[in-house]
Amino acid sequence: MPFTEYERISDITDVVTIAKGAGVDIHHYLNHTFGRGNWRKLKGIARVEYENGEIWQAEIHWYEAHGIGRRLEKVKRNIRRLA
């Protein structure tokens, strides 16, 4: 069963920068859609609750730029089922 809709129920921890600047694969799309910025791709760990009620510890990926904020957040993989 694919997990689709989720709600993040904890803060994101263990944040690591994956790419920044021109190294971000979709930086042209991000500049056009959300505005010009120094875009970074980041990942971290958070607890998420899916629409079916299951709670998982998951790896979250997102893009972020100063003054624009976090965009295109998604669960990349589930690490451990908590409930």
What is the chain's mean pLDDT, rounded? 93
User: Which uninterrupted H or E stretch holds 50?
Assistant: strand 40-50
Residue 40: name the closest of 24, 16, 28 by CA: 24
CA distance 25 to 52: 32
Distance CA 49, CA 28 (A): 32
Spans of all domains in the chain:
6-81
Instruction: Please state, for a pLDDT cut of 90, what percent of the chain lies above it.
Output: 89
Can you say whether the dihedral through the CA atoms of 59, 60, 65, 66 is positive or negative? Answer: negative
Distance between CA atoms of 2 and 7, rounded to whole angstroms?
15
Per-residue pLDDT, 3:
56
Identify the band that residue 1 occupies on the pLDDT scale cut at 50, 70 and 90.
very low
